[in-house]
Structure 1
């Protein structure tokens, strides 16, 4: 089996030294992928594959959002590399999730937004995620409750309320994605929010907010005044 050339080894070592000295701040997107791929491709130059990934998927975020089957269509990307790239995003989501749990999401709403955007990024269909909290607004559980088609999700408020009761949660925050990339709420989103407000008030469960996350940002029904005064 051929051994890696001295020039390839030297380039890999330079990439790793740069990372140790200045993290990824000075790296271009293709260099980030190139560095990652050195851990799954031991004997070849990874620059061409890194650039091809960016060209095919139109950006670093979409590379990390891609399914393994899509990644394998790029020359130089084998099963180990596809698995590694898929793992990066999931590890990031797990990191944000671990920071979120047992944290007051009313005091630190950005932590919830960051986690939810990462967890739902790249989904081609709508996904409904709920964060359940205790009396101090600390997250005690997060669950995906519904998954729908690209433009619709069958969401039943009773199911969400029942889940909160089964967890002995004091309240919940509802999050869903807009795969279109536009976080603006639809009339259906508004009707769902109103139904949940009424159901939660009936059972004295706090409905903290309904967030819509997308590539273009996020929409908070509470910040928009839908919930009335805080």
Structure 2
């Protein structure tokens, strides 16, 4: 396999061998064949003087320590980078939002528990990057299909007030058969606190009185994920 020399990556992409140009490579070999920088270059569309779009993309990924850091960056951070501006920041955010909506659409179209990884990716995309704590309810029907994903509570950086009565009311209003509750830890540690365990126990018990099953309580952090169900904690609480 022929590799484009590192020094040649700074030249305009139009001067590269056809098979190595990101759009052509995607067409011929599929999206999986592209590096993160090549995929990002397609969204950036053009480089700057002395840098191809791929070289510019690689600089951004290095500066922001990967894709997650890049999509979390605000307009001011992006505009400080050579060759970047509000329009390119908007392109990156739009691409990220399309992925998030695609994941949510997929969840609505099929049984949630047929793809745990898909659920995790959706939750990471939805709340993993938030600087404040939120509490979500995923209401499911009898076939484990998503009825609605609702943000029910919002708190400070380290505390959210959870009210089981409100959760039950919202679940009954949607005729939900089961429920997944989710909250994020902005501090980055996804492991449950004693308070997390207590609210899970209280909620599980309260839902049982109205014949609604608590399928899971998930905790999302920027680079971590915890599932009470996967850890075998639901039946032990």
Fold conserved (TM > 0.5)? yes
Q: Find 1:144's aligned residue among 133, 151, 168.
A: 151
Structure 1 residue aligned with 2:228, among 218, 221, 227? Answer: 221
Instruction: Point out where structure 1 has 5 or more consecutive residues left out of the alignment.
Output: 1-5
Matches within 5 A, 1:52-91: 52-91=59-98
Q: 2:122 aligns with which of 115, 131, 145?
A: 115
User: Secondary structure at the residue paired with 1:25?
Assistant: helix
Once residues 116 and 12 of structure 1 are traced to their aligned partners in structure 2, the CA distance between those partners, rounded to angstroms, is 40
Q: Secondary structure at the match of 2:61?
A: helix
* Separation (CA, whole Å) in 2 of partners of 1:181 and 1:162: 31
| Map of 1:21 onto structure 2 | 28
Aligned residues: 222
Q: Displacement, 1:106? A: 3.2
Instruction: State the match for 1:46 in structure 2.
Output: 53
Q: How does 1:110-189 map to 2 (within 5 A)?
A: 110-189=117-196
Picking from 4, 12, 15, the partner of 1:10 is 15
Give the CA deviation at 1:185: 0.8
Query: Aligned in 2, Cα 1:22/1:149: closer, same or farther, shift over 3 Å?
Result: farther
Q: Normalising to structure 2: TM-score of the pair?
A: 0.82
**Distance change >3 Å, CA 110–CA 34, structure 1 → 2:** closer
User: Aligned partners of 2:158 and 2:209: how far apart in 1?
Assistant: 30
Q: Which residue of 1 aligns with 2:217?
A: 210
CA-CA distance at 1:85 after TM superposition: 0.2
Indicate conservation of the 8 Å contact 1:180/1:214, yes or no.
Answer: yes
Q: How much does 1:224 deviate?
A: 2.2
Contact 1:62 1:122 in 2 (8 A): no
| Structure 2 CA distance for aligned equivalents of residues 129 and 29 of structure 1 | 30
Q: Is the 8 A contact 1:68 1:86 kept in 2?
A: no
Query: Is contact 1:102–1:140 with CA below 8 Å preserved after alignment?
Result: no
Could you tell me how far 1:43 is from its partner in structure 2? Answer: 7.3
Distance in 2, matches of 1:87 and 1:73, equals: 20
The answer to whether the 8 A contact 1:157-1:199 is kept is yes
Give how far 1:42 is off. 8.0
Assess if the C-alpha contact under 8 Å between 1:34 and 1:50 holds in 2: yes
Q: Where in structure 2 are there 5+ consecutive unaligned residues?
A: 1-10
Change (3 A) 1:112 1:74: same
Greater share of residues in helix: 2
SS of residue matched to 1:180: coil
For residues 98-138 of structure 1, the C-alpha deviation after alignment (integer angstroms, 9 at most, x for no partner) is 11014222343333222112212322222222110112211
